[in-house]
Structure 1
Amino acid sequence: MMLCTGAATFATSAAPVVLPRAEQIELHSTRTGDDFRILVAQPETPPPVGGYPVVYVLDADLVFNSVVETMRIQARRPQATGVLPALIVGITYPEKDNAILRRAVDYTPTPLAAPAPEMSAAMRTAGGGADRFLDFIDHELRPLIAQRYATDASRQVLFGHSLGGLFVLHALFKRPQAFTHYVAASPSWWWNEAVMAEQESAFRKLPDAARSGRALLLTVGEFEQQPSRFSDNMPGGMATLTRRAMVDNVRAVATHLKPLAGLRVEALEIQGENHLSSLPQAINRGLRFALEP
């Protein structure tokens, strides 16, 4: 059957859009007992002699396609954009699971330190699975990816936003050698500031060699801590933004870590954007930061 619009004629059925050179893997973790959905996209060009750099992306159900296409567009001219072709590995959950609650457990080192009135009762008691989740990535997922694809062990990137950004910092502080580049976009430091401050302090006391060759990019939107025309639309409004102090926390973490030997730290405040609208620029700048030739 055909549908005529007057200007053109369309079929009433259509095939789904498929992301080229990408595949989906259903993976069961024997270490944690959990099920994960892994999305993998290869570059358009063959792997170099040393293998592709690998970018591990959290919240892949939301951002995988954006990361893949941003990488592919820029990697066509790495000499001009500063982005090498990379293997993108997205981590998410099967449809049967509540992704919001799963991420609240997997991305956080502890449950919420204090009740958050804008959160559901389930979210207030969730959390504390970050070390188990890091074990899954480090000991199960990464060996699988290295076995299935041509990868460069010397260029391994972890990207996360919001609670995912908190997890990126947790991974850096607890296992700085797990990845070479860490991109923490709008990290939710407020989830448990005391615990994160303790982790940061212990990280700063490590020998310089433990941080050698590591790099961290922190990003945050200008309107994550000050009024914008969208501030009143979020749960809790400006009171929530003030309490979470996203911009102040990113500035403080950058200030504390920049003097450390062996660690390259950059911080980017994205003008005119809020917690969600800053994400596309965080992806773009994060890839340039981690995949420069």
Structure 2
Amino acid sequence: MKRLFYSLLLLSQMSVCHAATVTLPRAEQFELRAATTDNQPGPRYRILVALPDGPAPAGGYPVVYVLDADLVFHSVVETLRLQSRRPLATGVLPALVVGISYPEEDDVILRRAVDYTPTPAAQPAADMSATMRSAGGGADRFLDFIDKTLRPTIAQRYATNPNHQVLFGHSLGGLFALHALFNRPQSFTHYIAASPSWWWNDKVMATEESAFRRQPDAARGRALLLTVGEFEQSPSRFSDNMPGGIATLTRRAMVDNVRALSGRLITMPGMRVKALELTGENHLSSLPQAINRGLRFALEP
């Protein structure tokens, strides 16, 4: 009986320990509101920031801006901290990570569909939710928030390097990264577009790309990494379980679009372009590799 009592006591103590809150070291969060437009207050954003372990270098920390921070902020931070412990051995510099997310009470699916896209979807399909079909077109306003509100706030609060600024986006976030590159290439030095949703409105993106390529000087000193998973277009044993099945993969042509886009942009003078096709990965399983390879691409010493 005594042994049973102590066993139950130990289990209760373990339960209490497991309920403790886990925090990310050297990280903080705060809220920012976009600028007022048409006498209406701008939307609110939840900003997550993680500092490197060591002091800032003389020129300030490089900064990695991460979209969809509610999903990937912790992954980016821990991947970066692990890789940057020995920069000369790993080829990755320590950097400040800034995640852009939304207040918990907001509809994240709706807000990202608005913020990350230059227009509503060109051809809303059955595999898209009703929310996605009706959203889109806020990319320029969101880019204004980043350029005019968020980046100045980060520069004021932390020691940052204005000449080493990285934007990371996946899926619709990857589409936004390309929109930012084509329209305001000087906003960032490095753009990482992981599995970009070019299909959202390919005619609009093609127009933006053409205008960008007609201004080769705008690309000088910029760097772009494109990533895509093999099974984002090729059939796999999971294809039938996604909305629309293989027909969706074929229609979106994620791999073909990345190949074609990188082939066109790689000829621009003064711009570094790299494309990675990730073997055996799908739209979501490719994300950890995109984070890992993207950090190495953008933060080499």
Structure ranking higher in helix proportion = 2
Aligned to 2:130: 121
Q: CA deviation at 1:122?
A: 2.2
Aligned to 1:18: 23
Q: CA deviation at 1:31?
A: 4.2
Rate the CA distance shift 1:44–1:10 in 2: closer, same or farther, 3 A.
same
2:198 to 189, 193, 204: 189
Q: Secondary structure in 2 aligned to 1:24? A: strand
Aligned to 1:107: 116
Output aligned runs, 1:50-61, within 5 Å.
50-61=59-70
C-alpha contact (below 8 Å) 2:117/2:172 kept by paired residues: yes
Give % identity: 73
C-alpha contact (below 8 Å) 1:31/1:136 kept by paired residues: no
Rate the CA distance shift 1:7–1:223 in 2: closer, same or farther, 3 A.
farther
Q: TM-score, normalised by structure 1?
A: 0.96
2:214 to 205, 221, 231: 205
Rate the CA distance shift 1:31–1:282 in 2: closer, same or farther, 3 A.
farther
Q: CA RMSD in A?
A: 1.6
Alpha-carbon distance between aligned partners in 1 of 2:124 and 2:76, rounded to the nearest angstrom: 33
1:63 to 72, 75, 83: 72
* 2:47 maps to 1:38: yes
- What CA deviation, in whole Å up to 9, does each residue of 1:135-186 have, x standing for no partner? 0001100000000000000100000000000000000000000000000000
- What CA deviation, in whole Å up to 9, does each residue of 1:58-86 have, x standing for no partner? 00000000000000000001111111000
Rate the CA distance shift 1:54–1:7 in 2: closer, same or farther, 3 A.
same
Q: For this pair of structures, how many residues does the alignment match? A: 291
- Structure 2 letter corresponding to 1:11: M
C-alpha contact (below 8 Å) 1:219/1:270 kept by paired residues: yes
* 2:181 maps to 1:172: yes
Structure 2's unaligned 5+ residue stretches are: none
Q: Secondary structure in 1 aligned to 2:255? A: helix
